[in-house]
Amino acid sequence: ETGVTQTPRHLVMGMTNKKSLKCEQHLGHNAMYWYKQSAKKPLELMFVYSLEERVENNSVPSRFSPECPNSSHLFLHLHTLQPEDSALYLCASSQQGSDRGTEAFFGQGTRLTVV
């Protein structure tokens, strides 16, 4: 069983669809992240949840809506996306709390195509 699992691995959706990405971590971590990686661009931090509370929202459009029901699960709800939202969406988790923090472990990502 991998540490961070994302489903689905691939997703094709129309601009009027509503879909959700799921992430689950089995590492006992207390922080979870959503990152977006577009083609030939760096990883962009979208959201950070620490102890199930959203602590960072990096100016992400409202058509992306995160949900963190508990420390092991993270969702990204998608609606009325645009073709430019096509990208690799990566979930990560880490153990935070001290002043140092620890490294993040990533899921394999969901490759999203908006048509």
Partner 1 sequence: RKEVEQDPGPFNVPEGATVAFNCTYSNSASQSFFWYRQDCRKEPKLLMSVYSSGNEDGRFTAQLNRASQYISLLIRDSKLSDSATYLCVVNMEYGNKLVFGAGTILRVKS
* Residues in contact with partner 1, shown as a per-residue x/- string from 40 to 79 under the rule CB under 8 A: -xxx-x--x-x----xx-----------------------
For partner 1, which residue of 66, 94, 112, 114 counts as binding (CB under 8 A)? 94
Place of tokens 């207390």: 30
Separation CA 66–CA 76 (nearest Å): 4
Shortest separation between residue 6's beta carbon and partner 1, angstroms: 9
Separation CA 41–CA 58 (nearest Å): 16
10 forms part of the interface with partner 1 (CB under 8 A): no
DSSP 3: S
